[in-house]
Amino acid sequence: MLRQLFAYRNLLFLLMLLSSGCIFLTDDKKAGLPYIRELYLMGILGSTALLFACWKRIYSSKTALWILFMGVVLPVSSAVLAKLNWGQPIIYGLLEERRSFSYLVFFPTLFLLFKTNPSMEQVERFVLYVALICATIGFMYYLKIIPENAAVSFQVDAKEVGENAVLLRPDRYRIGGAFVSLSAFMLMYQMKERVSLNKLLLLLFFAAYLWLVIQTRQTMVVWALAAVWIFRNRIDSLLKLGLLAGMILVLSYIVMPDFYVAQFEKFQALLEEATGGPGVRDVTISISMRAVAENMYIGLGALSLQWNGGFSSVYNPHFYLSDVGIVGVYYRFGFLTPFIALIFYAGYLRIMKRCKDKGPLLLAFQLSFWFGMFNMVLSNALTYGGDTLGFATALFLYYSKVSAAERSINRSREWVNYGAVQYRHN
């Protein structure tokens, strides 16, 4: 039984589940278990070192160099810059940039893919199962089945609206958002040719999770744009999808109208807050641009909250580099940012292009990356998306090699060998 539990395929699913972060302590400290992320990263670092020592296939791919640049060179460089500019010890800089090390999940994922040889459909099911687990855990927090963490306070993301001091997003839990979005895109691609009621119900479940639990307006807009893009050549499928979803929503409105009234009021409050003038991100962008210019365009690195309160003691309690995407990268690395962005975006585009046969999952990864690139001012994928991008890179590389091997076999079958002379069948 223990041998079956630690079979390569089970380990691949477990690695995907951990990469989703569903049990890690969230950024707002409201949910998840402390120190599990750090233990996970230590496991990734240890397994990567072991694979470099024992698995020769790692050295045969240039993609490994891209991963090492994103997952080792950048976080170490940021820690060094923070040491030089602020005097922050290197260990705190590495602690602050620890999420970048999650790019290294590429190596154990690639190893497990070669060991299990899964079909694309099997990996798609794994991703869907992980997304369902994430959404279930998130809803359990939302419904108070799992209580919030009581040991830490939560003040940064609480915004008050009106005279009654009602919290704008009091029950927000950002658990597994990346895998939920990928699963939503994947389901849309699967329904492009044929709309399925079961898949539509799953998509509506994920949409409810996004609206009620994750509550990220940017992601809501991205989902809407993704639906338009995926069904751009299949208006009939889009109309069927919209009709079925509308019928389900109307029926649910008849059953619980008060719920929809409350959600509409919440939507109005979110819209008003989003369009009500300069927000936290605008202030953070302004401070970042000015600080780098005053430092002769040399990057300043990133400060850890565990060291003298981090940026809260320098600027304000709401200053987070993760909120401002590429501007946060610019704050860290200064004039080197264009070169880093070129390596990141061009490198990943090349990795995706090499995989010729993309199923719904790989198309979902590709679409997610495109949206992140076009929205780089808000997207923090470059520094915080390593867990998803490292996993996706392994998939793109593995299936590109599988496709190349299949094409080579098909070409060889077109030739018949008769001693010194070869004849080709037409």
Three-class secondary structure assignment of 192-208: CCCCCHHHHHHHHHHHH
Find tokens 């190596």 and name the residue. Answer: 107
| pLDDT, the chain, mean | 82
| Mean pLDDT confidence for 287-292 | 92
Nearest residue to 15 via CA among 115, 96, 142: 115
Element spanning 238, H or E: helix 235-255
Q: How far apart are CA 211 and CA 219, in angstroms?
A: 10
Q: How far apart are CA 90 and CA 294, in angstroms?
A: 23
How do residues 160-209 score in pLDDT, each as one tens digit? 333 333 445 567 788 888 999 999 999 999 988 787 888 888 998 998 89
Beta-bridge partner residues of 415 = 424
Q: Is the pLDDT of residue 146 over 50?
A: yes
Q: How far apart are CA 8 and CA 4, in angstroms?
A: 9
Q: Report pLDDT for 390.
A: 93
Show Cβ contacts of residue 178 under 8 Å, excluding neighbours closer than 6 positions.
20, 368, 385, 387, 388
How do residues 32-83 score in pLDDT, each as one tens digit? 888 899 999 999 999 999 999 988 888 878 899 999 999 999 999 999 999 9
Q: Report pLDDT for 228.
A: 85
Other C-beta atoms lying within 10 Å of the C-beta of residue 46: 11
Q: How far apart are CA 11 and CA 41, in angstroms?
A: 16
- Asked which of 2-6, 19-23, 31-35 is least confident by mean pLDDT, the reply is 2-6
| Helix boundaries (H) for 143-169 | none
Residue 157 burial by Cβ neighbours in a 10 Å radius (0-12, 13-18, 19+): middle
| Residue 334: DSSP 8-state | B
Q: How far apart are CA 309 and CA 224, in angstroms?
A: 38
Q: Report pLDDT for 155.
A: 42
| Mean pLDDT confidence for 316-339 | 89
Beta-bridge partner residues of 423 = 416
**In this predicted model, which residue has the larger pLDDT, 359 or 152?**
359
- Asked which of 165-174, 338-347, 400-409 is least confident by mean pLDDT, the reply is 165-174
- Asked which of 98-107, 156-165, 219-228, 412-421 is least confident by mean pLDDT, the reply is 156-165
User: What are the boundaries of each domain within the chain?
Assistant: 119-275
Tokens of 146: 């799992």
- Torsions phi, psi of 148, nearest 5? -65, 155
Tokens of 124: 């798609």
Tokens of 119: 């079909």
